[in-house]
Structure 1
Amino acid sequence: MPRSFSAAPRRETLAYQNQSLSYTLVFRSRRTIGFAVRPDGSVHISAPAGTSAEWVAQQVLKKADWILKHQQAFANRPAPAPSRHFEAGSTHHYQGQPYQLRFAAARQPAVTIEAAELVLATPAPLAPVQAEALLHAWYAHQARALFAESLARVWPRFTEFNLTRPTLAVRQMRTRWGSCTPSTARIRLSPELVRARPECLDYVLLHECCHLLVGDHSQAFYDLQTRLMPDWEQWKAALNALPK
């Protein structure tokens, strides 16, 4: 069985449209040239053994627009939201406002807001997983009233359509903020929405209400959503920036 060939990677840089285009080049036992743009924007090229760096440079220039397009697409991706921690002093949000977590002793478990702190009071010290469960339960408890207030703000925008007013349910969801069943006018919302600004909650609820009229995510759906909430993209971005 013949041995495969792979030379050490080398860094190359070209000038293209008044900017530098850098890439990592490696020669391998292959018949065609391969291009890859990674999420960090770096460019990696695998070229057939026996070809020259000059020939590769010519191919890169032919592919330059494709490379720059993908680099820009990765650069425009939003930064991943930070992860939450559940130790004393960690930051958590409620209705868009940040609070520091503080633990306190009490006969009965309770969650309260005191100035800039979110206080978890319990008879015994809490492990992080227990603090997380208590806080999530509190979010779910707060959700019903906040969701009702949001519907009171959002629903008047749908008056012209003579729809049945939807019923709301609090539902923990792993990958969604909300869902809608148009046939029963039932909307389910994640209790995690109480962490976001009221405008973010209104955006999600309006989104689900729009599904009472348009069941899919077609252009007609987004046209309707934009007409009823022109700045929805701002609130969607703010919602997605919340720590996961």
Structure 2
Amino acid sequence: MEREERVLKGKTGTITYTLTYKQVKNINLRINSCGEVFVSANPFVSKEMVDEFVAKKEQWIKKKQSTLTHKPALIEENRIQLLGNSLRIRRICGSHPLVYYSEDTFYVQYEKKEQCDKLIQAYLDQLCDDIFHDIALLTCKRLKAYHISMPQIKLRMMKSQWGNCKPTLGQITLNKRLIHYPVEFIEYVILHEFAHFVHPNHSKAFYELIEAYMPDYKERIALADTAR
């Protein structure tokens, strides 16, 4: 199968998608849980025709990507989604601020009730920093055969990506919302970004590298849906 990453300019920005030629009747488009766009088409369909098809779907693509990755943080009044688990939030008035969690409960101890939201967010930010950096360090060590220097890991809220990689700057940026999802999915996203230091595209070789180090990566992507 011929596989190629293509980039085209749309009305609202660029659209990046992976095109695969195989024996299908129609042009098929799908978006995975990471917001990546995949298109399959018959070998007799020109790339220009596929680009035109994708361009017509621009509004739908952007909307779909937004629903996948631009959701509010998975925190409700009495529950929080943390590392793929749904925990009950228990708020306690105490002499000093403190946040921690057990198997089924997320505890927030506060001096003033209006502190709760800030305490929760500060705790999640620190958890992101600790967990994401640890996974990134282990991933870098696993890929030692490619002589990748440990990149700078940046964390922020992102609208339409779980993460991105800038190989020339030695930098990976990860979406803070990942902290709500299973560790297995976080590991996939981080490996995905590290793989871009070897293949700065979404070519067949790129996914072969991911599969070599993470044979169950497709199942891990599916875990993101179970945590919603």
**TM-score normalised by structure 2 residue count:** 0.61
1:118 alignment counterpart: 106
Out of 142, 155, 165, the residue aligned to residue 170 of structure 1 is 155
* Equivalent pair of 2:85/2:227 in contact (CA under 8 Å): no
Letter in 1 for 2:88: Q
* Equivalent pair of 1:150/1:198 in contact (CA under 8 Å): no
Percentage of pairs with the same residue: 23
CA distance in 2, matches of 1:184, 1:143: 22
SS at the partner of 2:179? helix
Q: What are the superposed Cα offsets for residues 31-56 of structure 1, whole Å, 9 maximum, x if unpaired?
A: xxxxxxxxxxxxxxxxxxxxxxxxxx
Q: State which structure, 1 or 2, has the greater radius of gyration over its C-alpha atoms.
A: 1
SS at the partner of 1:173? coil
CA shift in 2, pair 1:124/1:132, >3 Å: closer
1:41 alignment counterpart: none
* Equivalent pair of 1:153/1:202 in contact (CA under 8 Å): no
Q: 1:241, CA displacement in angstroms? A: 3.1
Q: Which moved more, 1:189-198 or 1:141-150?
A: 189-198
CA distance in 1, matches of 2:178, 2:158: 11
The runs of 5 or more residues in structure 2 that have no matched partner are 1-66
Q: How many pairs were matched up?
A: 160
1:87 alignment counterpart: 77
CA distance in 1, matches of 2:106, 2:159: 24
Give the superposed CA RMSD: 2.6
* Equivalent pair of 1:214/1:220 in contact (CA under 8 Å): yes
Q: 1:100, CA displacement in angstroms? A: 0.7
SS at the partner of 1:111? strand
Q: 1:164, CA displacement in angstroms? A: 2.0
1:231 corresponds to 2:223: no
CA distance in 2, matches of 1:182, 1:194: 24
CA shift in 2, pair 1:117/1:218, >3 Å: same
Q: 1:206, CA displacement in angstroms? A: 0.2
